[in-house]
Amino acid sequence: MSKTREDGETTEEKEAPTTRRGAEALVEGLKQEGVDTMFGITGGAVMPVYDALYDDEDIDHIMMGHEQGAAHAAEAYHSVTGRPGVCLATSGPGATNLITGLADADMDSRSIIAVTGQVPTEMIGNDAFQETDMRGVSMPVTKHNYLVKDEDEVPDTVQEAFYVSNTGRPGPVVVDMPKDVSKNDTDAVRGELNIEGYSPNYEGHPRQVKKAAEAIEGADKPLIFAGGGAIMADAADEVRELANENRIPVTTSLQGLGGFPEDNDLSLGMLGMHGTGYANRAVTDCDLLIGIGVRFDDRATGKIESFAPSAEVIHVDIDPAEISKNIHADIPIVGDAKRVVGDINDEMASHASPDTEDWLDTLNDWREKYPMEYEQEDGELKPQYVIEELDDRTPDDTIVCTGVGQHQMWAAQWYEYNEPRTWISSGGLGTMGCGLPMTIGAKLAAPDKEVVCIDGDGSFLMTVQELATAVREELDFTLVIINNYYMGMVRQWQELFSDERYAESELPHLPEFDKIAEAFGAKGWRLTESENVGEVLEEALEYDGPSVIDAVIDPNENVFPMVPAGSGNDEFIMGKGTQGSRIS
């Protein structure tokens, strides 16, 4: 998460006010914020901004195939680097195409700045060509937004937009730039940052920290529940220390994957709808739940009534509105997760660690009772197998992006995440099509890292045009389509809860994805059986450029365990229909 900005950054600019156009002032502001990459598509209202970028040597602009892709790429850029991702679009359709990405960033708390063109100020309100009220349209899906009505406001607005976006709880911010504002001259420079109604709180209250330490000392069955907030705050080290030093088991939310190493014996993996049986039992039985950077989303909690029913709850979050929104916090601590968990660790020096060995034994019994498993007959190709094989061939710091659906859940379950900022996916909004553009953004943000995408056939097809972007930018990544010729997650729900009425979920006429890849100038493979999975994966990972593997899997495979929507987390269904804890 955001660090407090360093002071003094602005002073040198003040010394030499020069006259330049609003668009140039914008680009100058982006550079002052350290922007080196941006994603976008040009168009009438934003042409002056592109013109200002034309001669620029410092900012690498990536032309995307669709503005939604630009927003997702910017999201991934933030997830990988912790710095705001920047996207750019023209007014009207360009701007509205960003909305899905903005909503996605809003739900998953990613800092992105969307600069949009707008019709000239004197035409606003006249239904001018390509006019959309972007401020109005984006209001409910952004942290904040600006309509820049005067070129003199550009420097301050850019500064404020970045500050708001990436401090406190990160989120998307729109800067809407009317064409005349971009074209007119200004000699304004940024002044002192002053936003009266906005001052995020980073320090946890010492009294609350002390209470938390006391609760930890007194707990018999403590459990850490770490989320995306812990990763964004760069609190993974502190969480690990809290867990290791006090022998507290850890489960993560979907967006918390990588926030705690899954190869640690205290890791229970993910909880919630497709979490492990043992994590869901643990959260149901724990007597102290330590939520760190989580928002207790319904996919994680299941039925609220039976979520951690006997637990005292410590909730650490930077956003006060998350405290007791869904789950009452007995010990709320508003602050930056890194500092607060660090403080709790310090405080634990004067408290005894809880004795958790019995609790850990119980958890081990549950691990044995509810193992993660799948069956693969000879020759059959199962998604879990493909993902495990991919995991075996990629280093720990590999960045994994996904689409949305069954493949996303398998990617969460069967790839082992051991480092923060290695899992990039659409959690809150569940946006199909996010995978490929996020992969592009991630690779550009971390060119030296292995980047892979585990995508679905339906999801991939939603943003397939970004293959052209990947080929043009010569990006080296491997994308595996877990192809079941279905909107698989929908099919699973229809099978389990709708009497197998497969309404509009089958996709029998999909294109051959390996050929699609080749047509774009990428490299394609098709996998239909388990035999040569390793070989193909190695070739694809080896290939220097975008690799697309069409892995045609058993279409009937379902994601298990599963907590049916509206059920308690302890009512999970294991594979092959075995019930979870309730029958024990």
Ligand X SMILES: Cc1ncc(C[n+]2csc(CCOP(=O)(O)OP(=O)(O)O)c2C)c(N)n1
Query: Which positions are catalytic?
Result: 67, 129-130, 179, 489
- Chain positions 200 to 239 lying near other proteins, rule: CB under 8 A, are 214-215, 217-220
Residue 198 binds what, of other proteins, ligand X, none (CB under 5 to 8 Å, by partner type)?
Answer: other proteins
Query: Letter for the amino acid at 332?
Result: P
Q: Does 136 participate in binding other proteins (rule CB under 8 A)? A: yes
Q: Does 305 participate in binding other proteins (rule CB under 8 A)? A: yes
| Whole-Å CA distances, 473 to 58, 63, 96, 300 | 17, 9, 25, 37
Q: Extract the tokens encoding 210.
A: 């002390």
Residue 130 binds what, of ligand X, other proteins, none (CB under 5 to 8 Å, by partner type)?
Answer: none
Residue among 81, 76, 424, 446 nearest 255 (CA) = 424
Q: Is 325 exposed, middle or buried (0-12, 13-18, 19+ CB in 10 A)?
A: middle
- According to CB under 8 A, which one of 195, 371, 497, 584 is a site residue for other proteins? 195
State which residue, 376 or 567, has the beta carbon closest to other proteins: 567
Minimum CB separation from ligand X for residue 74, in Å? 18
Q: Judged by CB under 8 A, which stretch of 16-24, 140-148, 182-190, 573-581 contacts other proteins?
A: 140-148
- According to CB under 8 A, which one of 31, 61, 135, 247 is a site residue for other proteins? 135
The helix (run of H) or strand (run of E) holding residue 338 is helix 337-348
DSSP bridge pairs for 568: 302
Q: Does 416 participate in binding other proteins (rule CB under 8 A)? A: no
Residue 457 binds what, of ligand X, other proteins, none (CB under 5 to 8 Å, by partner type)?
Answer: ligand X
- Chain positions 337 to 396 lying near other proteins, rule: CB under 8 A, are none
State which residue, 83 or 221, has the beta carbon closest to other proteins: 221
Residue 565 binds what, of other proteins, ligand X, none (CB under 5 to 8 Å, by partner type)?
Answer: none
Minimum CB separation from other proteins for residue 197, in Å? 4
Minimum CB separation from other proteins for residue 285, in Å? 12
Minimum CB separation from ligand X for residue 429, in Å? 8
Minimum CB separation from ligand X for residue 99, in Å? 12
Minimum CB separation from other proteins for residue 170, in Å? 13
Q: Between the CA atoms of 552, 556, 557 and 560, what dihedral angle is there, to the nearest 10 degrees?
A: 150
- According to CB under 8 A, which one of 10, 130, 244, 324 is a site residue for other proteins? 324
Instruction: Evaluate whether 478 touches 453 at the Cβ level (below 8 Å).
Output: yes
Interface ranges with ligand X (CB under 6 A): 403-407, 430-433, 456-459, 482, 484, 486-490
- d(CA 133, CA 301) in angstroms, rounded, equals 37
- d(CA 146, CA 161) in angstroms, rounded, equals 8
Q: Is 130 exposed, middle or buried (0-12, 13-18, 19+ CB in 10 A)?
A: middle
DSSP bridge pairs for 573: 562, 579
Q: Does 147 participate in binding other proteins (rule CB under 8 A)? A: yes
Buried b (16+ CB within 10 A) or exposed e, 558-579: bbbbbbeeebbbbbbbbbeeee
- d(CA 385, CA 414) in angstroms, rounded, equals 8
Q: Judged by CB under 8 A, which stretch of 326-334, 441-449, 496-504, 525-533 contacts other proteins?
A: 326-334
Residue 406 binds what, of other proteins, ligand X, none (CB under 5 to 8 Å, by partner type)?
Answer: ligand X
| Whole-Å CA distances, 330 to 40, 468, 547, 568 | 45, 51, 49, 21
Q: Report strand pairing: 523-527 vs 546-552.
A: parallel
Binding site for other proteins (CB under 8 A): 135-136, 139-140, 143-144, 147, 164, 195-198, 214-215, 217-220, 287, 303-313, 319-321, 323-328, 330
